[in-house]
Structure 1
Amino acid sequence: MNAVRPSPEQWSSDLELITMAAKAAGEKALSYFRKDPDVQWKNGGRSPVSEADYAANDILKEKLLAARPNYGWLSEETDDDEARLGCDTVFVVDPIDGTRAFIAGKDVWCVSVAVVHLGRPVAGVLFAPALGELFHATENGDARKNGEAITVKPIGAEILRIALAEETVGLLELGYRASVSRIPHVPSLAYRIAMIADGRIDGTVVKKNSHDWDLAAADLILERAGGALFSLDGQPLSYNRPNVRHTVLCAAAKPALPALIAASQGLEGH
């Protein structure tokens, strides 16, 4: 692979492109919202996909690859093509992150689009059209929500507001549990991570088997807001690998992350 890194201006140009495409895809998805879209089941009946997911995916693929035909493509709603592994730069896309919420008429869902270069996101957008919210970042710029810079919440002595499944609480280290207030389920994983970036919550634990497309854009937005998304070995994620699934992950403001990772070691294997 070519190790020469493009300029920051390239990622700014890519951010403009993916923002335009995400808005178009989000508006298309919104036209199906709360209108009983056709739903199918994939992955052995475990994962729903609606006609809105496919329509949004078509818009993203058409607009993005027309503008950057040399970039690879990885989307939840497109059959994987191993040609992406030979590309330095890849679009990583989830047309609707939070499909179950979308189908149920709940407004916490978003279009997630990232540009990944040599394994790490360099531009990312989350567009939540039902909420009127747009998050974005590049690797050299601020994280922003609706144009305003955002940062993670400073960590003090107060109880930490952590989003995690109810059954996961009992797997946290006992002493840590006393410092945590559990936030109820947030249907979109990408949006949940964005909630850390804008300071509404302090952290989250992500169960194993999340995918690149759930994470890449939100990962960058959180990083540029002063947080991080790490695996339990304390390392950042690498994207566009042959296996796009991930193990248990923790996300939080950087000062709070080591304690959350240490407390979450019991989740390994669950």
Structure 2
Amino acid sequence: MKKVLTIAGSDCSGGAGIQADLKTFSAHGVFGMSVITAVTAQNTQGVFAVQDITRDVIAKQIEAIFDDIEVDGVKIGMVSQVQTIEVIAEQLSNYAPQIIVLDPVMVSKSGYHLLNPEAEATLIKELLPMAMIVTPNIPEAEVMTNSSIQTLKQMEEAAKAIFQMGAKNVLLKGGHLEEDSIDILFDGQEFSYFSSSRIATKNTHGTGCTLSSAITANLALGHTLNKAVSLAKEYITIAIQNSLSIGKGVGPTHHFYTLYKKAGLI
């Protein structure tokens, strides 16, 4: 069994962050492990507080995993402090995993800014060049490029700009556009497009975490980058189509819908 690590924040409501990552790993048949960078007080209505884990404890978590277990892939999610980003970069540089997927979590769906400008700059400088692929959504890409993105052409220009920052591959997610959801993958030379019809649901809590974790799992399973993205896009689409109306706000996706259906549970 492949072993996959998520380095991210905890979502106490279970729809995003570490919890969504581990559910996604399990749904893909890989063994999930976690390094928690922050504990958040959040639910389907928003993020209300963040308690960051200390640099030393983050370092010890990473050491405990890599010194004992072979890691086949790493997903990096919410890393809100400069010290957090720096220690992750130091440790991953030391252990040098081949597969690193960076989900630059900067702004929550409710508009909560999870990174200050200094941390954003450090993330771009330290973690972006280490990643096999970075997976920003449009608001995150706007922050990274200091530009407005409202069209597919502007998405392409932003992907090129992020590539120039040191990214090896850029998957810019188009879920925030008004038309069909088109994600674009740029490898520095050409674009690949991954399209799906827009799903009429408000329940999209944790979609970014889930997609990046699915990409990580599929890469660890040996798929090419394009295939890993395609399979992850298919997975998140099914999860959104069968999302769960849990809570009073933006509900979570259904990470186990396909498995539950095969098991006759739904």
Q: TM-score, normalised by structure 2?
A: 0.29
**Higher strand proportion (structure 1 or 2):** 1
Considering fraction of residues, name the structure with more helix.
2
